[in-house]
């Protein structure tokens, strides 16, 4: 479903991604871990072109993102993204946050979008919050709204960029629970996270990145119980 | 020597100053700000666009109109341009045009600062949902940027109201010029100009009260 070939990304003279290759299958949940500055967020952001790759190719559902003729907005409709800092629109109610893109981008009717929104809010456990503003929500609630907002575009892939890193510890669980449900429904997911419990329990595959490269990948069992690479071992020993 | 202040004279000239002069001043300023807001919005968007010629155009415009005196700009519009392009100047149109074009340069910078103060994540979230750049600007960035821009826009309104006195030099009968004409006919200088000053003061203070009120209203509905 997602094919990444020889991906390079430079910020000025700084090489952030060096020859990253990856294949992500449909319905697969891939968890990307690694120390900060390892390029894992940049890798994720390249997958919906929030960062433009310096070179290499990214193909999602047979469409090459790196091809100049590709309409990137079309691809983004199919690739949902959840951010570390939620990025809800503060001047809109929860309902409007969720319905804005379906109505404006997909030309869905307001009524249809609202029905969809209420369904999604029920799914993330926030049915009673449709008419409040983001500032009236807790961090965990905001992130669940952000997930609902991304799902409203009916994406084929969901990208999560450290979705629980900005949350108070007691709110991490509610967000992870929603993500777990999503994985069980068969959503294809790429998750950058420090939540090793989630990686182990929900991940089909774990990718360890360091210094802009994929150092090692494998099933959660392989990665956590018998990592092969020295750098993987030393990273895991520090955080587990 | 004690100056003999004549209240009678003040009451006599007041209607003329208010209903002729001040009314026109308000009219010129309001139109100037409206035109300036439209020009300023597009200039700010040009300046932040990725198209180089638009950026240059916007930068040249703001640099010129913020970097030269309004009085000179008024003179150029009224006296120099008609010579070049061969048309009969209309004082009212030129006065409004000069004020609008001048304030557009300042409003552009206000909007630019407002837009740039919005967190990058807002644009990223909007784009990641499949919105185009213009949709993201229109629905997500600009509504937030406008709100932030209201207090400095109020200041710009006040500045332009005072600066509108400069169009008196091309014969516009606004508040300042009305005062000047009164003094020309009946030399009660102190009464006249002090009354003119106080009318300006009342107008500028009303605007700043209005802006403060608007700000509070918005803050009450502030959901940040």
Distance from the first to the final alpha carbon of chain A? 31
Angstroms from A223 CA to nearest CA on chain B: 31
Is residue A216 within 8 Å of residue A223, measured between CB atoms? Answer: yes
Domain assignment present for residue B161? The answer is yes
> ∠B5-B10-B16 over CA atoms, to 5°?
155
pLDDT on residue B187: 84
Domain assignment present for residue B2? The answer is no
State phi, psi for B31 to the nearest 5 degrees: -60, -40
Is residue A161 within 8 Å of residue A192, measured between CB atoms? Answer: yes
- Of A58, A36, A64, residue with least CA distance to A46: A58
**What CATH number corresponds to the domain at position B137?**
1.10.3720.10
Domain assignment present for residue B164? The answer is yes
Angstroms from B209 CA to nearest CA on chain A: 25
pTM: 0.88
Q: How far is CA A209 from the centre of its chain?
A: 16
d(CA B204, CA B201): 5
- Cβ neighbour number for residue B151 with a 10 Å cutoff: 16
The model's confidence at residue B3, banded by pLDDT at 50, 70 and 90, is: confident
Helix axes B23-48, B91-116, angle to 10 degrees: 40
pLDDT on residue B220: 63
Can you tell me the mean pLDDT for A57-77? 90
A108 in contact with B, Cβ within 8 Å:
no
Domain assignment present for residue B115? The answer is yes
pLDDT at B22 over 60: yes
Query: Over the Cα atoms of chain B, what is R_g?
Result: 21
A190 forms bridges with which residues in the sheet?
A30, A159
pLDDT at B223 over 60: no
pLDDT at B12 over 60: yes
Tens digits of per-residue pLDDT, A9-38? 999 999 999 999 999 999 999 999 999 889
Structure tokens at B156: 């710009």
d(CA A163, CA B93): 57
Tens digits of per-residue pLDDT, B89-145? 899 999 999 999 999 999 999 999 999 999 999 999 999 999 999 999 999 999 999
Can you tell me the mean pLDDT for B148-161? 93
Mutation target among A50, A101, A154, A155 for the B interface, most CBs of B within 10 A: A101
Angstroms from A193 CA to nearest CA on chain B: 19
Chain-chain contact of B139 with A104 (C-beta, under 8 angstroms): yes
Domain assignment present for residue B52? The answer is yes
Contacts of B135 in chain A (CB under 8 A): 104-105
Is residue B14 within 8 Å of residue B195, measured between CB atoms? Answer: yes
- Of A42, A66, A22, A24, residue with least CA distance to A212: A42
The model's confidence at residue B186, banded by pLDDT at 50, 70 and 90, is: confident
- Of A165, A167, A170, A117, residue with least CA distance to A145: A117
Number of domains in chain B: 1
Can you tell me the mean pLDDT for A95-112? 96
Domain assignment present for residue B1? The answer is no
pLDDT at A84 over 90: yes
As a three-state string, the secondary structure of A23-63 is EECCCCEEEEECCCCCCHHHHHHHCCCCCCCCEEEEEECCE
d(CA A20, CA A5): 7
d(CA B47, CA B68): 20
pLDDT on residue B2: 79
pLDDT on residue A140: 95
CB pairs under 8 A between A and B: 68
pLDDT at B62 over 70: yes
* Owning domain of residue B135: 7-222
pLDDT on residue B222: 58
d(CA B112, CA A222): 52
ipTM over the 0.90 cut-off: yes
Structure tokens at A136: 């009236």
Can you tell me the mean pLDDT for B153-165? 95
State phi, psi for A163 to the nearest 5 degrees: -65, -15
């Amino acid at each position: 479903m997602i094919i990444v070939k020889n991906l390079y990304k430079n910020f000025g003279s700084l090489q952030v991604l060096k020859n990253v290759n990856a294949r992500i299958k449909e319905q697969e949940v891939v968890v990307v871990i690694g120390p900060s500055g390892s390029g894992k967020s940049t890798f994720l952001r390249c997958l919906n072109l929030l960062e433009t790759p310096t070179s290499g190719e990214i193909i999602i559902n047979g469409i090459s993102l790196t091809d100049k003729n590709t309409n990137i907005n079309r691809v983004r409709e199919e690739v949902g993204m959840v951010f570390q800092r939620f990025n809800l629109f503060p001047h809109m109610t929860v309902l409007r946050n969720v319905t804005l893109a379906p109505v404006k981008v997909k030309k869905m009717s307001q009524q249809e979008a609202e029905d969809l929104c209420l369904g999604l809010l029920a799914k993330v456990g926030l049915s009673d919050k449709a008419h409040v503003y983001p500032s009236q929500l807790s961090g965990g609630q905001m992130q669940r709204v952000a997930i609902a907002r991304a799902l409203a575009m009916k994406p084929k892939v969901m990208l999560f960029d450290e979705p629980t890193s900005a949350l108070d510890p007691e709110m991490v669980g509610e967000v992870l629970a929603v993500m777990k449900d999503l994985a069980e429904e068969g959503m294809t997911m790429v998750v950058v996270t420090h939540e090793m419990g989630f990686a182990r329990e929900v991940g089909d595959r774990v990718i360890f990145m360091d210094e802009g490269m994929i150092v090692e990948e494998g099933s959660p069992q392989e990665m956590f119980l018998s990592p092969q690479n020295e750098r993987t071992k030393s990273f895991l020993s520090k955080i587990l | 020597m004690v100056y003999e202040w004549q209240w009678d004279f003040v009451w006599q000239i007041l209607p003329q100053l208010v209903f002729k002069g001040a009314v026109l001043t308000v009219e010129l300023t309001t139109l100037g700000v409206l035109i300036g807001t439209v020009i300023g919005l597009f200039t700010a968007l040009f300046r932040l666009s990725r198209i180089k010629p638009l950026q240059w155009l916007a930068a040249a415009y703001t640099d010129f109109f913020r970097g030269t005196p309004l009085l000179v700009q008024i003179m150029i519009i009224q006296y120099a341009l008609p010579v070049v392009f061969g048309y009969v100047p209309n004082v009212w149109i030129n006065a409004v045009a000069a004020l609008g074009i001048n304030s557009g340069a300042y409003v552009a910078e206000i909007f630019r600062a407002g837009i740039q103060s919005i967190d990058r994540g807002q644009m990223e979230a909007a784009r990641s949902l499949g919105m185009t750049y213009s949709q993201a600007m229109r629905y997500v960035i600009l509504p937030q940027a406008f709100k932030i821009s209201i207090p400095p826009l109020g200041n710009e309104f006040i500045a332009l109201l005072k600066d509108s006195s400069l169009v008196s030099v091309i014969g516009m009968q606004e508040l300042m010029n009305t005062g000047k004409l009164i003094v020309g006919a009946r030399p009660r200088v102190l009464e006249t100009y002090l009354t003119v000053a106080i009318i300006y003061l009342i107008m500028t203070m009303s605007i700043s009260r209005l802006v403060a009120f608007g700000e509070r209203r918005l803050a009450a509905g502030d959901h940040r």
